[in-house]
Amino acid sequence: VSLPVTIPFEVSGTAVDPYGNTRVGFEGKTIINRKDWGVNWNAALEAGGVLVSEKVTLEFEISAIRGA
């Protein structure tokens, strides 16, 4: 299954590394429903509820180097 996902990113900072390269960091986070991708398995708990949440949190920390 292939679905588009929009992830809002924010710049977390910029710095020059020891080699003189300018680096920039980005952070992004979104929540998806695993059932949208066909991941439907679950198990009922004795105390009620289910073992696995439908919600999956995706978190990204990206470091990029500025090109020449």
Q: What is the pLDDT of residues 13-58, one digit of tens each?
A: 999 999 999 999 999 999 999 999 999 999 999 998 999 999 999 9
pLDDT score recorded for residue 10: 98
- CA-closest candidate to residue 65, choices 21, 15, 28, 26: 21
pLDDT score recorded for residue 68: 64
CA 60/CA 7 separation, integer angstroms = 9
CA distances from 37 to 24, 54, 55, 57 (A): 32, 11, 12, 14
